[in-house]
Amino acid sequence: MTATVGQQAQAAARASDVWKVYGSGEAQVVALRGVSAEFERGRFTAIMGPSGSGKSTLMHCLAGLDSVTRGTVAIGETTVTGLGDSGLTKLRRDKVGFIFQQFNLLPTLTAEENILLPLSIAGRKPDPAWYDTVIDTVGLRDRLGHRPAQLSGGQQQRVACARALVSRPEVIFADEPTGNLDSRSGAEVLNFLRNSVREHGQTIVMVTHDPTAAAYADRVVFLADGEIVSELIEPTADTVLDTMKKLDTPAEVGN
């Protein structure tokens, strides 16, 4: 099944008939089987599926962190498939932001230095107005001089979000961003991600296995066994949960 193309404008990220195969011979594992999907600009899309369904693999391939075995991946107008090392570096600097489950802040840098790290690596200066907007949105103005160890998990994840947002990438990929957070901090982060889509037109693709988290998205794409099997527009936690239950019993999917 192919996910439907969104109504507005072109896609921020696109996968066309993507296959990903690990290993060879008997140890061969097919993680993705001809996945085609588009992720519309200015929308918040969640990728869901049971463990081993290939959702993380799909995200890694989309983001250029992993190569695809067959098919093509594009971000904006850039075709990711076949890009060389310097092309991928440029892509990560300009078009892609990441939010990880483990926050992945540098422990030796302050919150502010962590937020500005991608820009300083690229040798750029932040746009002051946008930087202020981001800091105010994540609500960290009084915590900028703190080290990650002095911040709570939710605050650390908000720093990581600000780091992804500050360079205004084409797409932000979030890999289980609430997986390490309690429900309140998780809700904070998800609200904040949704607001950045609604208010600033940011595009976000989030991998999650938590139906409550997926309910914050505008659209949910379901993966099972390396294939897209279903999707929901304007999901709620209940509809997501129902769909997930069906996926857990593969025999019923065919009916």
Partner 1 sequence: MFRATLKSLLARKVRLILSGLAVVLGVMFVSGAFVLTDTLGRSFDAVFADGYSEVDVDVQAKPKVAVGEAQGEQVPTPVPAGAVERVRQVSGVAGATGLVNADGARLVGSNGKVVTSFGPPQLGENWVGESDLVKLRQGREPRADDEIVVNQALADAAKVKVGDRVGVLTLEPKKEFTLVGVFGYSGDRTSIGGVNEVAFTTPVAQRLMLGAPNTFTSISVKAADGVRAETLRDDVGRALGGDYQVRTGEQAAADAAASLKEGLSFFNKILLGFAGVALLVGTFLILNTFSIIVAQRTRELALMRAIGASGRQIIGSVVLEAIAVGLVARSSGWGRASASARCWRSCSASWPVG
Q: Which residues bind to partner 1, rule: CB under 8 A?
A: 65, 85-86, 89, 92-93, 97-98, 104, 106-109, 113, 117-118, 120-122, 163, 167
In the bound state with partner 1, the residue whose beta carbon lies nearer, of 55 and 92, is 92
Residues recorded for the chain: 255
What is the DSSP track for 56-82? HHHHHHHTTSS--SEEEEEETTEE-TT
What is the nearest approach in angstroms of partner 1 to the Cβ of residue 119?
9
CB atoms within 10 A of CB 156: 24
What is the nearest approach in angstroms of partner 1 to the Cβ of residue 113?
7
What is the nearest approach in angstroms of partner 1 to the Cβ of residue 199?
24
Q: How far is CA 181 from the centre of its chain?
A: 17
Residue closest to 104 by CA, chosen among 66, 51, 153? 153
In the bound state with partner 1, the residue whose beta carbon lies nearer, of 25 and 107, is 107
What is the nearest approach in angstroms of partner 1 to the Cβ of residue 215?
28
Using CA atoms, how far apart are residues 33 and 19, in angstroms rounded to an integer? 5
In the bound state with partner 1, the residue whose beta carbon lies nearer, of 93 and 246, is 93
What is the nearest approach in angstroms of partner 1 to the Cβ of residue 159?
13
In the bound state with partner 1, the residue whose beta carbon lies nearer, of 98 and 222, is 98
CB atoms within 10 A of CB 225: 16
- Alpha helices in 172-249, H assignment, sequence order: 183-200, 211-214, 237-248
What is the nearest approach in angstroms of partner 1 to the Cβ of residue 212?
27
CB atoms within 10 A of CB 238: 10
Using CA atoms, how far apart are residues 62 and 56, in angstroms rounded to an integer? 10
Could you give the C-alpha distances from 208 to 62, 114, 124, 178, 240, in angstroms and in order? 16, 24, 32, 8, 12
What is the nearest approach in angstroms of partner 1 to the Cβ of residue 124?
10
In the bound state with partner 1, the residue whose beta carbon lies nearer, of 105 and 228, is 105
Handedness of CA 54, 172, 72, 91 (dihedral sign): negative
CA atoms within 13 A on the CB side of 250: 7
In the bound state with partner 1, the residue whose beta carbon lies nearer, of 6 and 64, is 64
In the bound state with partner 1, the residue whose beta carbon lies nearer, of 4 and 108, is 108
